[in-house]
Structure 1
């Protein structure tokens, strides 16, 4: 019994694990679909974050995707749920348009890419992340299309911050 009390006291002194507060930005019962016909190699390049859910509390970021020997690699700094998230590593994918990205609160599903791969809408089935990446000019018609895709996949657009 004495050992149990000592162990409990030691456990109480241990620092709490760091966690990132994440929101739920989509209806849990809403269907969500990823882009299953995309050319993942066209994701390579520099991307700028132009919108995010819960993004009013931090500055927009971006991502650089490159092709390595083992597949796609990413280096990113993004505003997600009001928190700056940064990381780097492989973008592993077993299904086209769906990626596991290091340090993320859920998988990245590419919900939509415009025909020229200038705009990406990224979401997650768990609803804990959602953002729009772009390269080059970001005209109003692509913003409208991106918002339509997010809404169609169950996202609450009232929580979307457009930078």
Structure 2
């Protein structure tokens, strides 16, 4: 091919629209995922610290949220590392089904994958796998609850090699 023929083709290729990258996912979406059907939303009221998230190490700082009961239901404020991005959260936290929550401004429901019997550790994720987080309250996350949360995340298709502890 001559240079005169190749130049218009290169120029045409440079003008072509960029194909957006598919959203990053942290789980095998071919595996089933389950939300916690016995989850009691009122029991998550309180302050939570983010202790682990699916993200590249150093992608963002660990966050935390406060969940408060209101006359209309639950409200959440704070900041979390979701999918490797620091995300500010503020507003209602709707319960959309068993173990399923929809924060204000969220593009998809958050599923409660696991919570320990005393509601001290909470594993959240999405069917798309765009994020997954572990929240804890009452001090450092003990090894037994971390192990249980990791098992549930893996069972729901999450790639534990991409889980970053804070």
Range into which the TM-score falls when normalised by the shorter chain: 0.7 to 0.9
Structure number with bigger Rg: 2
Matching residue of 1:59:
61
CA shift for structure 1 position 51: 0.2
TM-score, normalised on structure 2?
A: 0.82
Partners of 1:75 and 1:55 in 2: CA distance: 24
Count of residue pairs the alignment pairs up: 143
TM-score (norm 1): 0.83
In the alignment, structure 1 residue 143 sits paired with structure 2 residue 146: yes
**Unpaired runs of 5+ in structure 1?**
1-20
Moved over 4 A (4+): none
Q: Report 1:80-119 matches (<5 A).
A: 80-119=82-121
1:10-21 equivalent positions in 2, closer than 5 A? none
Unaligned runs of 5+ in 2: 1-21
Give the SS at the match of 1:91. strand
Question: Following the alignment from structure 2 to structure 1, what is the Cα–Cα distance between the partners of residues 105 and 129?
Answer: 16
CA RMSD of aligned residues (A): 1.4
Distance 1:130 1:118 in 2: 17
Q: Could you say if the C-alpha distance between residues 146 and 156 of structure 1 is closer, same or farther in structure 2, counting changes exceeding 3 Å?
A: same
Alpha carbons 2:73, 2:93 under 8 Å: kept: yes
**Any residues of structure 2 matched to 1:12-91 within 5 Å, and which?**
23-56=24-57, 57-91=59-93
